[in-house]
Amino acid sequence: MDIADEFNLLVLEDCAQSHGASIQSRKAGSWGDAGAFSFYPGKNLGALGDAGGITTNDEELMSVVTALRNYGSHTKYENRYKGVNSRLDEMQAAMLRVKLNYLDGETSRRKQIAQYYNQHIDNSLVLKQPYVDSAENHVFHLYVIQVENRADFVAYLESRGVHTMVHYPIAPHKQQAYPELGHLSLPVTEKIHRQVVSLPMGPTMTDEQVASVVEVVNSYVLRA
């Protein structure tokens, strides 16, 4: 924010994975000029279908985005902007209002699981685990580690009943959608995309399931 202030930049926060996260007791979504939250069902605060929200303290921005989600219209059938139909359905909003009451509890459970993983995963083939600053509030939408030979690691875990996912396999500059960026060489980014793997994480996991993930990860050895 200091840099943005110095150069007069807008800061837009991607809060899709950070519901309730905070730095210096200040929540994600309240730092920048605006924050975009995803309420996709799998997110920490998820609706029963696709949904999202924007936070801002800027009244003019609020007025514009409120119209943009509604055909660019403030007044029925008058289109001030070229907008889209992206309103938050009222049924989804009602669900989210109820689920919001459970967010802090579910976040605590996510943190507890992450702490257990951090303390108990012990395998030299796991190159990196998430860094946790205990003074800050990381909400662990995902628990992402890095491993060298990911395909083999993933196959081993799968064979032992532990499903993993990769967030995300292809870096933005290597996506087909961005041929104009394809020439870039970003070795650190590309290495991360080759090595990341997300272990099971969610507030409904039992202690037994969490311990079993650790046991399987720790038993992984390099295979031919």
Enumerate binding residues for ligand PLP (CB under 6 A): 14, 16-17, 38, 40, 52
For CA atoms 173, 130, 166, 18, the dihedral sign is negative
208: CB partners within 8 A, 6+ apart = none
Of 42 and 187, which has the nearer Cβ to ligand PLP? 42
Smaller CB distance to ligand PLP: residue 14 or 158?
A: 14
* Closer residue to ligand PLP in complex, CB, 165/186: 165
C-alpha distances out from residue 198 to 117, 146, 181, Å? 12, 9, 26
Q: Return the number of the residue (36 or 121) whose C-beta is nearest ligand PLP.
A: 36
Q: How far is the CB of 58 from ligand PLP (least distance, A)?
A: 21
**Nearer CB in complex with ligand PLP: 22/212:** 22
| CB of 16 vs ligand PLP, minimal distance in Å | 3
Q: Where are the beta strands (DSSP E) in 10-142?
A: 12-14, 22-23, 26-27, 34-38, 52-56, 73-75, 78-79, 126-128
Give me 198's structure tokens: 């997300």
- For residues 157 and 4, what is the distance between their CA atoms, to the nearest angstrom? 43
Q: How far is the CB of 141 from ligand PLP (least distance, A)?
A: 7
Sign of the four-CA dihedral 197, 21, 16, 171: negative
The minimum distance between CB 47 and ligand PLP, in angstroms, equals 9
State the nearest-atom distance from the C-beta of 21 to ligand PLP, in Å: 12
Please give the helix or strand (H or E) that residue 116 lies within, else none. helix 103-120
